[in-house]
Structure 1
């Protein structure tokens, strides 16, 4: 890939030009050598978008709900970015990218940017590049960034550390209430949406959710209690109620200082991930190094325990110049 003119790209992205946004996210996904320059240029323009994560089991209607939310936010005059994280092929690393197809109705809207990203084997329902891609969309002037995660069930709780507001989607007749409790999703949801609420069993699902959310809760006065909202996203029903719940949660976070704290934690997690990745790469570079071979030989011979060997290796790596 040719070297990009980063200041020019960032300026174009700030003007809402889709090609510039696409190129910046491609630099992120490709772990470009220019990534540091990109992030440095974007940093002053971030922190304005409301980042909303949507998660839930396969078949609950995440893509349909995301599309309906895009419509509602656009009607309110807001610019919207969508990151739809798809499962990767374990063979090619490519993704099905079906979400992009299902949201085709917004493709020609200049106020909407949709990007499908492959997980590339990353657990937790998110692509490893998602946090930096969110930064690109935030800096590009999106008022709302919707992050739709892979429908893989119990590993999706990672979205809670990547979003300002986490939305958990469920559907009647799928055993989602019990599954949600098993997955720990009840702890990470800020707003719960029972989609396909025109189906039999919707009332029971809402009752069960409210009951489970009430079990063992010890909330102080003024603490956020996650609402349970009904919707039929395919017909656009209940979507305004979902948006209202999201706006209320945002206002509550701003009033209580929760939003700033969540973003600090998110930034800390991002910094930690980058640091660990850099260390892992430097350790990987030592696989053919005499130090690693010598340490491995001593461990195999019983002269050194693996923890002491690891400590010595880490000391050698961290003392080395970056």
Structure 2
């Protein structure tokens, strides 16, 4: 039973495409997990800091952003096996994403005690250690992207750094978080809610697709198409997340649910209702599929990812 008194509904039985997607997500999650574990086992990281970084990074999560980096790199390369650097870039964006979760969970921000089914970093350690662990993961992301192992061309590495810095910075994720905090003390309109969600959640998802396009050597038109695909599924991801906050049980999603309503936070679901959100999700999936149409059958994994985002249950 959810904390908000609603029982999560079981999802449909997986189709062959869904089963293939879940296998691919698990494969990429395992690969990126091992790469991050290697980075976080460096001997020069203080033990307590390394432990907090590992706690906030390893052992959970679908690694959806890394999946997008690697799959967009594969698609941009004509369906070929993506370059080894795609794993490095995937680890970088996940490090930045995990930093944001650690900081978002702090008492001064979203004030959460549970993340991925375990105590948040500030609960498992303390506030100061959580802040430093987040800071360390943020800077580690750019250390990884600047490494020649990520891409042999310095210009490509600079491009990757720029994409992630913009997405994670004041005009992206951090700016979205600031607007989200301010919205708790006001009654934002739909335009503001959409802006918050596109910056706070969507920017990193779009960046993952754009980074994959760079790694795969996509032409400008294909890079623009994949970036727009990221915009669309970023909005779908947030809509689905807002629905989960209303409908799902905490044990299913691995974090407290019902908190948006508790804090009076405006979401598109709160503004328009669950039925509208589900209809909007269907439209977004259709747009995402249309954006991938020129890539043909090679894009089926990403098409299924769009469907998965819209109807996920955790």
TM-score (normalizing by structure 1): 0.24
More strand by share: 1
Structure with greater Cα Rg: 1
TM-score (normalizing by structure 2): 0.24
